[in-house]
A and B are shown apart, each in its own frame.
Chain A
Amino acid sequence: MHRYIWLVPLLPLFGAAINGLLGRKFRFSEKLIGGIAVGSIALAFLLSVAAVYSYGFSSHAIWPETYVTSQDGAFKYDWIPGGAVRQTLGSNERIRGKGEEELAKKRATLPPEERNQPVAVGVFDVPRSSVLNVEWSYQLDALSSIFMLIVTGVGLCIFVFATGYMHGDPGFYRFFAYMGLFMFSMLVLVMGSNFLMMFVGWEGVGLCSYLLIGYYFDRQEAADASRKAFITNRIGDFGFALAIFGVIATFGTSQYGDVFSQARSFPLETLGHWGLLSWIALGLFIGACGKSAQLPLHVWLPDAMAGPTPVSALIHAATMVTAGLYMVTRTNVIFQHSQTMMLVVALVGAATALFAATIGITQNDIKKVLAYSTVSQLGFMFMACGVGAFAIGIFHVMTHAFFKALMFLGAGSVIHGMHHEQDLRRMGGLRKYMPYTYLTFLAGWLAICGIIPFSGFWSKDEILWNAAATRYIPVGWLVWIVGTVAATCTAFYMTRLVAMTFWGKERFLPVHHEHTPEHEGHLMDDHPAPEHHGDFPHESPRSMWVPLAVLAVLATVGGFVGISTAFTGGKHVGGRMNIVNFLDPIIWNPTTRYFGTHEAVDSYGKPLESVAHTGVDLVTQELEPVEAPPPYSSEGFNLAHAVESKLHNEIATEWVFIVISLLVAGIGIGLGFLFYVKDTRLPDIWAARLRPLYEASYNKYWVDEFYGWAVTRRVMDAARAVYALDAKVVDGAVNGMAWITRLSSRITGAVDQYFVDGLVNAIAAFIMRLMSPLLRAAQTGFAQNYALVMVLGLVAAVAMFFGADILKMVRNIFAIFV
Chain B
Amino acid sequence: MPLLLLKFFTPALGFLFQEATSGRFTTAWQKAQHPDLSKFLTIGALLFIIGVAGVLTRRNIIVIFMSIELILNAANLNFIAMSRYLQDTGNVNAVAGQIFAVFVIVVAAAEAAIGLGIVIALYRNKETIWVDEIDILKW
Interface residues of A (CB under 8 A from B): 779-784, 786-788, 791
Q: Give chain A residues whose Cβ lies under 8 Å from the Cβ of B135.
A: 780-782
**Interface contact A784-B138, CB-CB below 8 Å:** no
Among A779, A780, A791, the residue within 8 A (CB) of B56 is A791
Interchain CA distance A195-B138 in the complex, whole Å: 82
Sample 7 A-B pairs with CB under 8 A, ordered by A number. Answer: A780-B135, A781-B137, A781-B139, A782-B132, A784-B132, A787-B56, A791-B56
Interchain CA distance A782-B134 in the complex, whole Å: 7
Minimum CB–CB distance from B121 to chain A (whole Å) comes to 15
Task: Beyond the given A781-B138, A783-B131, A791-B56, please list 11 additional residue pairs across the A-B interface where CB-CB is below 8 A.
Answer: A780-B135, A781-B134, A781-B135, A781-B137, A781-B139, A782-B132, A784-B55, A784-B56, A784-B131, A787-B55, A787-B56
Q: Answer whether residue B32 sits at the interface, using C-beta atoms and an 8 A cutoff.
A: no
Q: Answer whether residue B52 sits at the interface, using C-beta atoms and an 8 A cutoff.
A: yes
Q: Answer whether residue B4 sits at the interface, using C-beta atoms and an 8 A cutoff.
A: no
Most buried by B among A779, A784, A788: A784
**Interface contact A788-B56, CB-CB below 8 Å:** yes
Among B52, B55, B57, B137, the residue within 8 A (CB) of A782 is B137
Q: Give chain B residues whose Cβ lies under 8 Å from the Cβ of A784.
A: 55-57, 131-132
Q: Give chain B residues whose Cβ lies under 8 Å from the Cβ of A781.
A: 134-139
Smallest CB gap from B138: residue in A: A781
Most buried by A among B52, B57, B139: B52
**Interface contact B52-A780, CB-CB below 8 Å:** no
Smallest CB gap from B136: residue in A: A781
The A-contacting residues of B in range 37-79, CB under 8 angstroms, are 52, 55-57
Q: Give chain A residues whose Cβ lies under 8 Å from the Cβ of B55.
A: 784, 787
Interchain CA distance A602-B137 in the complex, whole Å: 99
**Interface contact B134-A780, CB-CB below 8 Å:** no
Q: Give per-residue flags for B120-139: 1 if the beta carbon is below 8 A from chain A beta carbons, else 0.
A: 00000000000110111111
Interchain CA distance A344-B60 in the complex, whole Å: 115
Interchain CA distance A603-B57 in the complex, whole Å: 107
Interchain CA distance A89-B118 in the complex, whole Å: 87
Q: Give chain B residues whose Cβ lies under 8 Å from the Cβ of A783.
A: 131, 134, 137
Q: Give chain B residues whose Cβ lies under 8 Å from the Cβ of A786.
A: 137
Q: Give chain B residues whose Cβ lies under 8 Å from the Cβ of A780.
A: 135, 138
The A-contacting residues of B in range 61-115, CB under 8 angstroms, are none
The SS class assigned to the A binding surface is: helix
Q: Give chain B residues whose Cβ lies under 8 Å from the Cβ of A791.
A: 52, 56
Q: Give chain A residues whose Cβ lies under 8 Å from the Cβ of B52.
A: 791
Q: Give per-residue flags for B17-36: 1 if the beta carbon is below 8 A from chain A beta carbons, else 0.
A: 00000000000000000000
Q: Give chain A residues whose Cβ lies under 8 Å from the Cβ of B137.
A: 781-783, 786
Q: How many A-B residue pairs have CB under 8 A?
A: 28
Interface size on B, residues (CB 8 A): 12
**Interface contact B131-A779, CB-CB below 8 Å:** no
Minimum CB–CB distance from A399 to chain B (whole Å) comes to 97
Interchain CA distance A782-B64 in the complex, whole Å: 13
**Interface contact B131-A782, CB-CB below 8 Å:** yes
Smallest CB gap from B133: residue in A: A782
Interchain CA distance A782-B52 in the complex, whole Å: 16
Interchain CA distance A782-B59 in the complex, whole Å: 11
Interchain CA distance A781-B134 in the complex, whole Å: 8
Interchain CA distance A783-B57 in the complex, whole Å: 11
Smallest CB gap from B53: residue in A: A791
Q: Give chain B residues whose Cβ lies under 8 Å from the Cβ of A788.
A: 56
Interchain CA distance A783-B136 in the complex, whole Å: 9
Minimum CB–CB distance from B2 to chain A (whole Å) comes to 60
Interchain CA distance A782-B132 in the complex, whole Å: 7
Q: Nearest 9 A-B pairs (CB), nearest first?
A: A781-B138, A781-B135, A779-B138, A781-B137, A788-B56, A782-B135, A787-B55, A784-B56, A791-B52
Most buried by A among B132, B134, B136, B137: B137
Interchain CA distance A749-B38 in the complex, whole Å: 73
Interchain CA distance A698-B52 in the complex, whole Å: 116
Minimum CB–CB distance from B132 to chain A (whole Å) comes to 6
Minimum CB–CB distance from A810 to chain B (whole Å) comes to 15
Q: Give chain A residues whose Cβ lies under 8 Å from the Cβ of B57.
A: 784
Minimum CB–CB distance from B28 to chain A (whole Å) comes to 27
Interchain CA distance A791-B56 in the complex, whole Å: 9
Q: Give chain B residues whose Cβ lies under 8 Å from the Cβ of A787.
A: 55-56
Interchain CA distance A783-B131 in the complex, whole Å: 8
Minimum CB–CB distance from B27 to chain A (whole Å) comes to 28
Minimum CB–CB distance from B81 to chain A (whole Å) comes to 19
Q: Give chain A residues whose Cβ lies under 8 Å from the Cβ of B132.
A: 782, 784
Minimum CB–CB distance from A796 to chain B (whole Å) comes to 14
Smallest CB gap from A778: residue in B: B138
Q: Give chain A residues whose Cβ lies under 8 Å from the Cβ of B138.
A: 779-781
Smallest CB gap from A782: residue in B: B135
Minimum CB–CB distance from A758 to chain B (whole Å) comes to 32
Minimum CB–CB distance from A812 to chain B (whole Å) comes to 14
Q: Give chain A residues whose Cβ lies under 8 Å from the Cβ of B134.
A: 781-783
Minimum CB–CB distance from B40 to chain A (whole Å) comes to 18
Interchain CA distance A780-B139 in the complex, whole Å: 10
Interchain CA distance A787-B132 in the complex, whole Å: 13
Q: Give chain A residues whose Cβ lies under 8 Å from the Cβ of B136.
A: 781
Smallest CB gap from A779: residue in B: B138
Interchain CA distance A781-B136 in the complex, whole Å: 6
Q: Give chain B residues whose Cβ lies under 8 Å from the Cβ of A779.
A: 138
Interchain CA distance A787-B52 in the complex, whole Å: 9
Minimum CB–CB distance from A785 to chain B (whole Å) comes to 9
Smallest CB gap from A795: residue in B: B52
Minimum CB–CB distance from B38 to chain A (whole Å) comes to 12
Most buried by B among A779, A783, A788, A791: A783
Interchain CA distance A791-B55 in the complex, whole Å: 10
Interchain CA distance A788-B131 in the complex, whole Å: 14
Interchain CA distance A787-B53 in the complex, whole Å: 10
Interchain CA distance A782-B139 in the complex, whole Å: 11
Minimum CB–CB distance from B13 to chain A (whole Å) comes to 47
Minimum CB–CB distance from A46 to chain B (whole Å) comes to 77
Interchain CA distance A781-B138 in the complex, whole Å: 4
Q: Give chain A residues whose Cβ lies under 8 Å from the Cβ of B139.
A: 781
Minimum CB–CB distance from A201 to chain B (whole Å) comes to 77
Minimum CB–CB distance from B66 to chain A (whole Å) comes to 15
Interchain CA distance A781-B57 in the complex, whole Å: 16
Interchain CA distance A783-B135 in the complex, whole Å: 8
Smallest CB gap from B61: residue in A: A783
Minimum CB–CB distance from A324 to chain B (whole Å) comes to 89
Interchain CA distance A784-B56 in the complex, whole Å: 5
Minimum CB–CB distance from A781 to chain B (whole Å) comes to 3
Minimum CB–CB distance from B138 to chain A (whole Å) comes to 3
Minimum CB–CB distance from A787 to chain B (whole Å) comes to 6
Interchain CA distance A638-B28 in the complex, whole Å: 140
Minimum CB–CB distance from B63 to chain A (whole Å) comes to 12
